[in-house]
Amino acid sequence: MDEPPCPSPASQTPAPKPAPSFNAGHGANYPIDWQKIFKNCLLTLLGLFAFIGFMSSGNRSVMGVSMKSAIVMGLDISNGIEQFLADYGHLPLPIGSTPASRDLDTDSGPSRGLIALLAGKEAAGASIKPQNFRGIDYLEGVKPAKAFKKSGHLWADGLVIDRTPPAYSIVDAWGNLYHLRLDTDGDGWVENPDSNQAAEGRPKLKKRVIVWSPGKDGLEETWEDNPKSWD
Ligand SMILES: [Ca+2]
Ligand SMILES: [Ca+2]
The DSSP 8-state label assigned to residue 110 in this structure reads: G
Give the Å distance between the CA of 105 and the centre of ligand 2: 18
- The answer to whether residue 26 scores a pLDDT higher than 80 is no
User: 138-182: per-residue pLDDT in tens?
Assistant: 999 999 999 998 888 899 999 999 988 899 999 999 999 999 999
Is residue 117 a contact partner of residue 131, using CB atoms and an 8 Å limit?
A: yes
Q: What is the pLDDT of residue 36?
A: 65
| Sequence letter at residue 215 | G
Q: H helices of the chain, where?
A: 34-88, 114-118, 195-199
How many angstroms does the Cα of residue 150 sit away from the middle of ligand 1?
36
Residue 31 is predicted with a pLDDT of: 65
Q: Report the separation in Å between the CA atom of 99 and the middle of ligand 1, taken as the mean of its atom positions.
A: 12
CA 207 – ligand 1 centroid, Å: 8
User: Which of 210, 195, 171 lies closest to 82, judged by CA?
Assistant: 210
Contacts of residue 127, defined as CB under 8 A and 6 or more positions apart, other chains included, come to none
Cβ proximity of 209 and 176 under 8 Å: no
Under the banding of pLDDT at 50, 70 and 90, the label for residue 98 is confident
Q: Which one-letter DSSP state was computed for residue 16?
A: P
Give 99 Cα–ligand 2 centroid separation in angstroms: 30
- Which range has the worst mean pLDDT, 14-28, 72-86, 123-137? 14-28
Distance 193 CA to ligand 1 centre (A): 13
Backbone angles phi, psi at 214, to 5 degrees: -75, -5
**Number of C-alpha atoms within 13 angstroms, CB side, residue 128?**
13
In the reported structure, the alpha carbon of residue 183 is separated from the centroid of ligand 1 by a whole-number distance in angstroms of 4
Distance 102 CA to ligand 1 centre (A): 7
- The pLDDT assigned to 57 comes to 47
Percent helix, strand, coil in the chain, to 5, is 30, 15, 55
**Residue 109 per-residue DSSP state:** S
Residue 212 CA to residue 208 CA, distance in Å, equals 14
Distance 227 CA to ligand 2 centre (A): 8
DSSP-derived pairing of the beta strands 204-205 and 190-191: antiparallel
pLDDT of residue 46: 57
Residue 88 Cα to ligand 1 middle (Å): 19
212 φ, ψ to 5°? -150, 170
- The three-class DSSP label of residue 184 is coil
Q: Output the CA 162–ligand 1 centroid distance in Å.
A: 33
The predicted-structure confidence for 30-52, as pLDDT tens digits, reads as follows 567 766 666 665 655 654 555 45
Distance 105 CA to ligand 1 centre (A): 11
Give, as residue ranges, everything with CB less than 5 Å from ion ligand 2. Answer: 214-215, 217, 219, 222, 225-226
Domain ranges of the chain: 59-225
Separation of CA 197 and ligand 2 centre (Å): 14
Q: What is the mean pLDDT of the chain?
A: 83
Instruction: Please report which ligand is nearest the Cα atom of 91.
Output: 1
How far is ligand 2, taken at its centre, from the CA of residue 194, in Å?
A: 11
pLDDT tens-digit readout, 39-86: 665 655 654 555 454 455 444 444 599 999 999 999 999 999 999 999
